[in-house]
């Protein structure tokens, strides 16, 4: 179960991802080519997928990850692992797509800033997983 101090980050991140996923599920025709083209540039094996099917599945995955984060009864380890996996793919886009980083640097270019910002989700996901695995407890001062 989510610990009280995790709820703000789970709510903010979950709402953001859920909203993004709902947009993809509802309007796949308008954006499918762009989303699929970007993803398949970074991950060439995705070129075999039909753009609308890929975008709909991506949106469904985002809805699932967002819902897990928003549901306090979903254990932090499970929600954190889902968020870590999802956001690692987004950070991979940032690292693999041409023009997203300044030459010879990890610093984002202006075009890469929208993708670089997804690194905060990776940090939150890893934090949820590490806290669950280490069994860190919150103690009151006596």
* Whole-number average pLDDT of the chain: 90
Quick one: angle between helices 7-26 and 51-70, nearest 10?
160
User: How confident is the model over 32-57, as a mean pLDDT?
Assistant: 93
What the block records as the tokens of 29 is 């025709």
Mean of the pLDDT values across residues 24-48?
89
pLDDT tops 70 at residue 137 = no
List the one residue out of 64, 65, 80, 66 whose CA is nearest residue 133: 80
C-alpha distances out from residue 140 to 60, 137, Å: 40, 10
Contact criterion met (CB below 8 Å) for 136 and 128: no
Which of the residue ranges 3-7, 9-13, 23-27, 60-64 would you say has the lowest mean pLDDT? 23-27
Give the span between the Cα atoms of 139 and 142, in whole angstroms.
9
Instruction: Give the global pTM.
Output: 0.86
Question: Is the model's pLDDT at 142 over the cut of 70?
Answer: no
Q: Which of 65 and 138 is assigned the larger pLDDT?
A: 65
């Amino acid at each position: 179960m989510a610990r009280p101090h995790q709820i703000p980050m789970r709510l903010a991140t979950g709402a953001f991802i859920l909203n993004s996923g709902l947009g993809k599920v509802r309007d796949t025709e308008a954006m499918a080519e762009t989303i699929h083209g970007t993803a398949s540039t970074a991950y060439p094996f995705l070129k075999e997928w039909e753009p609308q099917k890929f975008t709909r599945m991506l949106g469904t995955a985002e809805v699932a990850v967002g819902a897990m984060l928003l549901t306090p009864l979903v254990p932090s380890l499970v929600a954190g692992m889902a968020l870590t996996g999802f956001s690692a793919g987004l950070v991979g886009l940032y690292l693999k797509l041409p023009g997203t980083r300044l030459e010879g640097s990890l610093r984002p270019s202006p075009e890469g800033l929208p993708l670089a910002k997804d690194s905060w989700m990776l940090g939150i996901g890893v934090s949820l997983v590490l806290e669950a695995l280490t069994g860190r407890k919150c103690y009151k001062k006596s």
